[in-house]
Amino acid sequence: MTDVESAPVRAGFWRRVGALVIDCLVVLVPLQIVVVVLFAMSNGSIQGSFGFVSRVCQTVAQAPSGLEPPPPADANTFTECEIGFFGLPTARTLAIGTVKQQGNTTSGRFITYALDAQGNPVNAFTTDWIAILAVAVYLIAMERRSGATIGKRTLGIRAVPTNAPGQIGLPLRQAVIRQAAKWIGMIPAMLFAVVVFFVLEDPFAAMETQGYWTMFAIAAAIQIAWLLWIIISVSSKRDPIYDRIAGTSVLRTG
């Protein structure tokens, strides 16, 4: 047998994507069922818009009273959305925006509020971050144990240390770094969101400035470039940047 014949084969793009979809189904569907129950029991005080949801939106004439922060006086669009899992509500939101037309250019700024089951403003607790954390913990735990999540095992692929492809399971350090490194390209976008929602006193006023949209464009460009880099690497059956950082590879097992 030659070296070429015995060389491990990297998993391709579609096997990786398919495995991720299966893993998200395994983790997120049970969580979504829980959120359906919590939304109903809390009258919308607990919400979630993650996972495999449907979104039904409609334009409403005006905003309800009691919104915090108050919407801008020049707001001219009001869109209410019901988010659900197989028709069962998990979240309800109201997006209020100001859309302006200048010549052939249309610009807008929006802010989203949570609503309860009856459509009234509510200070809702979002479970979206819990869903992200649950997926990350599941991936780390499964790859630490055997290198293969349920999705990877189903599609015949496994994560291994690059320097020890025959090893079963990743060291905890590598498993954690592998998942954390996937988010590097999204850090600018996340920092931008933190500044907008938790630092700026008036996000609507900031949207009128050139600096706001410049920073938005930079963060978006970095995130898109990061994702394209990963997609191109995986499609070429090379280790993507986050695997190279962690010292891991995803190989076909059959």
Calculate what percentage of the chain has a pLDDT beyond 90. 73
Place 195 in a pLDDT band, splitting at 50, 70 and 90. Answer: confident
Name the percent of the chain lying above pLDDT 70: 94
| Biggest alpha carbon–alpha carbon distance for the chain | 75
Is 44:114 a contact under the CB 8 Å cutoff? Answer: yes
pLDDT at 65: 86
Q: What's the mean pLDDT when you consider all of the chain?
A: 90
Residue 74's pLDDT band (cuts 50, 70, 90) = confident
Angle, alpha carbons 234-238-239 (nearest 5°)? 85
Measure the CA–CA gap between 55 and 48, rounded to whole angstroms. 12
What are 152-188's pLDDT values in tens digits? 999 999 999 999 999 999 999 999 999 999 999 999 9
pLDDT digits (tens, 9 = 90+) for 105-131: 666 678 899 999 999 999 999 999 999
* Section 175-204 average pLDDT: 86
pLDDT at 5 over 90: no
Could you tell me whether strands 88-102 and 105-114 are parallel, antiparallel, or unpaired per DSSP bridges? antiparallel
DSSP state of 68: S
Reported pTM: 0.85
pLDDT at 105: 67
* Predicted confidence band of residue 7 (pLDDT cuts 50, 70, 90): low
Residue 232 has pLDDT above 50, yes or no: yes
